[in-house]
Amino acid sequence: MSPTKMELPITGSDIFSDFRPAAGCLYQTTSQNTGRYNGTATVEPEHMTIKPGMFLSSGEPVPNYLPPQWSSFVHPEGQLYFCRHSTLRIVTEAYLYHLDTMIKVAWWSKEIEDRLVERNFDLSGDVEVFLQITGADCAYYIVDHRAHTMFWLDELDTDDLGLLPAVSPSHLLLALNELYWTHVEYFPMHLNGLPLSVVDELLGVFSHALVDHMTSRTSTFPYAAPQCTKFLELLKISRTQPHDGNTTCLVARLWHLIYHHRFSTHYGEENPRLSRDQAILVDSTRESRSIGFLTSALSFKTSDTYLARLNDIYTDRLVYAHQWQPFISACMKDWRINSYLVCSLNRSVLHLLLVFASPSRYLLFVSGICLSGSLVSSTILIHHHQPLQDSTASEASTYLTAILSKRFKFQLVAFVYSLPRTLYFWGLTTFFLNWIVAFAAFAGIWLAAVLSFVCLCAIVAIQQVVSQTRIRDSWSWPTIRLTESVDTSPA
């Protein structure tokens, strides 16, 4: 049966007279699991008749009636919601202008209120219940505006609610604080604003974050200095309008983000994350030392740079957008530059192959294959990572989680990222060897050997001057140094 729209006022006594949801059940949810942004309903606009003076202030349009104590509000994003102003405040996004929906909401409201009284919960004006009607069932959660937290009628595990594991009750409270502020963000218009102290505390948080970013490269705060500056400007303006529902919404959204950050950094716990590159979670995965040595040697240590950056960005599976976006943009730039270099060198190989009768055509073919592989790998990587340049932290985390290997972590990914430059170096090396062979055929093998030795010494000298580590240490196989333990404790 299609929903019936109310056209006459309905008293509270009429609501519960006949309706009893036989198959309905009450279950728990959270403010982040309501599917708010996953709606699939569709509408079909149609032409309407505009009556004379239809929307004038002096006109009397037919109102949409609501039960006593219920009022309608519109979220700044456009979502209509309803609030019951009573001892136990109730909010819902269910469309109460449909009679059957209103009856279900009223019945479940009474059911939850009775259960709260039965369990001796304090039903002061600080407690607010959210209801979500799904068929005959009802999902709910309860918030406490004084404690800034969320609770339910029965005992639950965090896994039942889709929450992340916590290390202590105080750590769990941070997650519940985050859920509370998400609720306030979604239902801000009926609250008559927030205390100025809430805004002032948020100003202090972003002020400290700004200084932290300006004086440290490893700040754990999720927003960079330019973003913190903009947030501070916005909060200073919002402070002059504390009772505006739009201000309540934006302040709640920022607090929701702050508590999400605090939960991920274990704010106030025994072992908090004080530096972005500090790992505090147990990680059972380990990199393969043999694969690491092999990929490092094959890529002329180019893969090591990518591996270090990927591990740094993905510390404890926590990704910061202001770290990921510059990294992937730098990768894209490097791959494009490599493509230009390959195209230039490929022309030289082709010219040498066609013009000169080189005695080492196989080296030229190998060089051409390596350079072509470099160009192809650059093209594939650029095409695949183009959409990832503007990824949010959540999107970047999802991507990195998907490509993370349980056996090798990011070792193979780093090697693939280094393929364009690796193949370019191998192509350049074989191209240089071809010139040496050609020179030996022209000037003699001894002169070619001398020239090769001089070039090799020049390469080693350049590497030694610009490198932070000695070449011998750089290419030595990883070993475990055994030392004799000496007891220095007093007798």
**What is the pLDDT, as a whole number, of residue 253?**
97
- Measured between alpha carbons, how far is 461 from 5 in angstroms, rounded to an integer? 85
pLDDT, tens digit (0-9, with 9 covering 90-100), for 71-93: 999 999 999 999 999 889 999 99
- Taking alpha carbons only, the member of 439, 478, 134 closest to residue 287 is 478
| pLDDT band for position 486 (cuts 50, 70, 90) | very low
Q: Span 364-377, mean pLDDT?
A: 85
First to last CA, the chain: 91
Q: Which two tokens stand for residue 278?
A: 């500090």
Q: How far is CA 15 from the centre of its chain?
A: 45
pLDDT, tens digit (0-9, with 9 covering 90-100), for 253-277: 999 999 999 999 999 999 999 999 9
- Measured between alpha carbons, how far is 66 from 64 in angstroms, rounded to an integer? 7
What is the CB-side half-sphere exposure of residue 423 using CA atoms within 13 A?
23
Higher pLDDT, residue 168 or 4: 168
- Taking alpha carbons only, the member of 458, 483, 81 closest to residue 450 is 458
Beta 137-144 vs 149-151: how paired, if at all? antiparallel
**What is the pLDDT, as a whole number, of residue 352?**
56
What is the CB-side half-sphere exposure of residue 67 using CA atoms within 13 A?
25
- pLDDT tops 60 at residue 121: yes
- Taking alpha carbons only, the member of 220, 177, 229, 422 closest to residue 319 is 220
> One-letter amino acid identity for 439?
F
- Measured between alpha carbons, how far is 37 from 126 in angstroms, rounded to an integer? 27
pLDDT, tens digit (0-9, with 9 covering 90-100), for 228-252: 999 999 999 999 998 999 999 999 9
- pLDDT tops 80 at residue 405: yes
Higher pLDDT, residue 30 or 87: 30
| Helix H or strand E encompassing 27 | strand 26-28
- pLDDT tops 60 at residue 488: no
**DSSP string covering 125-166, please?**
TTEEEEEEEETTEEEEEEEETTTTEEE-SS---GGGGTPPP-
Neighbours of 214 (CB within 10 A): 11
Do 280 and 266 form a contact (C-beta atoms < 8 A)? yes
**What is the pLDDT, as a whole number, of residue 484?**
39
| pLDDT band for position 467 (cuts 50, 70, 90) | low
* Percentage of the residues of the chain whose pLDDT score is greater than 70: 82
**What is the pLDDT, as a whole number, of residue 365?**
78
Q: What's the pTM?
A: 0.82
Write down the mean pLDDT value for the chain: 85
The domain limits of the chain are 1-35+65-163, 165-278, 289-467
